[in-house]
Amino acid sequence: MSLLDDALAAVVGSPDDDLPRLAYADLLLAAGDPRGEFIHAQCNLAHADLGYFERRELREKSETLQTLHLHTWLSVLGLTRKDRVTFRRGFIEHVELSASQIASPALDALFAREPVQSMQLTVDRERDVKDPTSLARIGHLQALTVRGRMAPGGVLTLIAKPLPKLRVLNLGSHLNPASFAALWSSENLPALQRLSVSGSSLSGALNARNATLCAHHALTTLWMNTCELEDSDIEGLVSGDRPVISQLMVLGIQNNSYGARGVRALVQSPGAMTLQSLELDLNDNGTVQALLEDNQLYSLKRLKLNEQIRLSTKYRDQFKLKYQKSLYFR
């Protein structure tokens, strides 16, 4: 391997460290390669404490270099301008691919030369995610969003092997109660911090027994909007010796089927003291009253309410008085 190859391998092997990036950039600059200047500019933008004019100059420089050389940089990776990529600190950090693309040998260079950390994966056929190459490449990611037509069985395939670095997982509407239970209790996602399953039909999936099986002890953000959740599901979040709610800072549960019983259980749970952002429904007068009662939302900085009933001026004023600047109506 050449000195450049060794330096690039160090970048891919240590994606959070800027020193290998800058060392590689210096070698490129010495060889007259404009990618070196681009890496330096983006690294400075990401970390340096810059003034307004310095920041604007660096941003303009990086944008100009990317416009001039993007075709060249992508072509050696098996990509074209039609493929959506996001550069950060001089390298591709996020990419949007189809499941068939990710398994293709044509993209070997992309995963060998760029420290890809985030991916939006579009799945048209479930068998695409069963390819060993696909699973190996997903295994290095910190963030993954799945789009398309993946059946619940595809989710089980994705989590069948360890994903030790994955912090953010957005699975959208691709789950049913059984696959959610498998995901919820999987020990293959030890670093998971943010989970979105919004749009999946999950009525009953968070009952008291299932909720206590959560294996994601680093989880701080949970999005379950439009999941057909009922009162028993919300009660599941606050049940057990170590309820899931006690580790969450952000919870989104709008457009569901719970009522006053679930809302009261949530906001009066001691575990709710950690919540800083909460999105939920106002389904009836009972849910309104439950939120206006004394509760445990002491750390709340953002409350977004989905009005499924029309609030009177009296109730609006009471909400504004109780929650003040944290309150948003939808």
pLDDT tens digits for 52-86? 899 999 999 999 999 999 999 999 999 988 889 99
CB 251 within 8 A of CB 279: yes
Identify the band that residue 126 occupies on the pLDDT scale cut at 50, 70 and 90: low
CATH number at residue 317: 3.80.10.10
In terms of domains, do 125 and 142 share one?
yes
**64 and 111 both lie in a single domain:** no
Tokens of residue 280, six digits: 């939920």
Q: How far apart are CA 228 and CA 222, in angstroms?
A: 15
First-to-final CA distance of the chain: 58
pLDDT tens sequence across 270-293: 999 999 999 998 878 888 888 888
The pLDDT value given to residue 96: 94
Q: According to the model, what pLDDT value does residue 320 have?
A: 81
* Tens digits of residue pLDDT in 214-273: 889 999 999 999 999 999 999 999 988 789 999 999 999 999 999 999 999 999 999 999
Question: 317: pLDDT confidence band, cut at 50, 70 and 90?
Answer: confident
Say yes or no: 185 and 316 in one domain. yes
Largest interatomic CA distance in the chain: 73
Q: Write the Ramachandran bin of 199: left for phi over 0, alpha for psi from -120 to 50, otherwise beta.
A: left
State both tokens at 79.
């990509």
Same domain, 255 and 314: yes
Provide the 3-class DSSP secondary structure of residue 314: helix
Interatomic CA distance for residues 286 and 292, integer angstroms = 10
- The pTM (predicted TM-score) of the whole model is 0.91
Same structural domain, 89 and 22 = no
Same-domain pairing of 184 and 235:
yes
Give the chain's domain count.
2
Q: Tell me the per-residue pLDDT of 86-103, one tens digit each, with 9 for 90 and over.
A: 999 999 999 999 888 887
Predicted local confidence at residue 294, as pLDDT: 86
For residues 233 and 169, state if they share a domain: yes
Which has the closest alpha carbon to 86: 95, 98, 73?
95
Residue % of the chain over a pLDDT of 90: 60
Say which residue, 155 or 29, is predicted with more confidence. Answer: 29
Whether residue 92 sits in one domain with residue 17 = no
CA contacts within 13 A on the Cβ side of 118: 15
Structure tokens at 25: 């950039």
With b meaning 16 or more CB within 10 Å and e meaning fewer, what string describes 95-110?
bbbbbebbbeeebeeb
Structural domain range at position 23: 1-75
Average of per-residue pLDDT across 147-167: 85
Of 75, 96, 119, which one is at a domain's C-terminal end? 75
- For residue 128, pLDDT beyond 70: no
Let me know whether 88 and 71 are in one domain: no
pLDDT one-digit tens code per residue, 129-138: 666 777 778 8
C-alpha to C-alpha distance for 310 and 318, rounded to whole angstroms: 14
Q: Is the Cβ–Cβ distance between 191 and 217 less than 8 Å?
A: no
Q: CA 48 to CA 224: how far, in whole Å?
A: 37
59/188 same-domain check: no
Six token digits for residue 29: 């600059």
Tens digit of each residue's pLDDT (9 = 90 or more) over 22-57: 999 999 999 999 999 999 999 999 876 888 899 999
pLDDT digits (tens, 9 = 90+) for 171-228: 988 899 999 999 999 999 999 999 999 999 999 998 877 777 888 999 999 999 999 9
- For 287, phi then psi, to 5°, come to -70, -35
Same domain, 188 and 66: no
On whether the CB atoms of residues 152 and 174 are closer than 8 A, the answer is yes
